[in-house]
Amino acid sequence: MIIFPAIDIKGGKCVRLIKGDFNKITQYKKSPIEQANEFLNLGFKNIHLIDLDGALEEKPVNENTIKAISKISKIKIQIGGGVRSIDHIKRLLDFNVDKVILGTAAVENIEFLKKACDKFDNKIALSLDVRKGYIALSGWKKQTDILASDFIKKIKNVNISRIIYTDINKDGTKSGPNFQETVDLSNLTKIPFVISGGVSSINDVINVKKSKYQNIEGIIIGKAIYDGNIDIKQLSKII
Residue 239 has pLDDT above 80, yes or no: no
The yes-or-no answer on residue 129 being catalytic is yes
Q: How confident is the model at residue 30 (pLDDT cuts 50, 70, 90)?
A: very high
DSSP string, 130-157: EETTEEEETTTTEEEEEEHHHHHHHHTT
Domains and CATH numbers, the chain: 2-236 (3.20.20.70)
- Alpha helices, H only, 48-177: 52-57, 63-70, 86-94, 104-108, 110-119, 148-155
pLDDT digits (tens, 9 = 90+) for 38-88: 999 999 999 999 999 998 888 999 999 999 999 998 999 999 999 999 999
51, 53, 129, 171: which one is catalytic? 129
The yes-or-no answer on residue 150 being catalytic is no
Average pLDDT, the chain: 92
Give me the pLDDT at residue 145, please: 96
Give me the pLDDT at residue 17, please: 81
Residue 212 has pLDDT above 80, yes or no: no
Average confidence (pLDDT) over 196-224: 88
